[in-house]
Homo-oligomer: A and B are copies of this chain.
């Protein structure tokens, strides 16, 4: 889990911290995650994490923005693919859904997004989280051209998968009920989510 310890340029270092922070924030939440855990996961010292981003809050905002951008980029790729294949609404939904499930392989993106959403009471993080959420909604409605009804159902399945990842339901895959639930949400792609770190 440790990155290398050699010197890097600041932008490179920011990138590795961002990746490490997405995982740690994703698992422990904005308040629960410590800058020291993030530093260790990135293979550097705690003060340096703070130095490069200014504050824990600024780092979390950077993680939020980056996760949301990654999700939207993947959605746009899926949308382009569906349109190139000439598939209709059904195909578009399937393509977007596939991207969403596949993004779950690096847990960081979905988990840190949900941890941001759950922080609505924080004046600055809450505001950023709401803005990000609406960006995603606008993508579904305007770019992907989904009806309100379809966009809402799609989002619901997304939130369900995110919550299941967050509660770490895959660790209970042995349990019959847990397995039924996971299969219902992920379909045949479930194995993807069991093994990944």
Q: Is A184 an interface residue when CB atoms closer than 8 A count as contact?
A: yes
> Which residues of A8-38 have CB atoms within 8 Å of chain B's CB atoms?
27-32
Q: State the majority secondary structure of interface residues on A.
A: helix
Query: Could you list 12 A-B pairs, sorted by A, with CB under 8 Å?
Result: A32-B119, A119-B167, A130-B168, A130-B169, A130-B172, A130-B178, A134-B175, A148-B184, A153-B153, A153-B156, A159-B160, A159-B163
Interface hit among A68-76, A87-95, A110-118: A110-118
- Inter-chain CA distance A134–B185, complex, in Å, is 14
Q: Is there an interface contact between B29 and A114, defined as CB atoms closer than 8 Å?
A: no
Interface size class of A (residues with CB under 8 A): 35 or more
Q: Is A4 an interface residue when CB atoms closer than 8 A count as contact?
A: no
Q: Is A195 an interface residue when CB atoms closer than 8 A count as contact?
A: no
Chain A 127-140 interface mask (CB, 8 Å, partner B; 1/0): 00110011001100
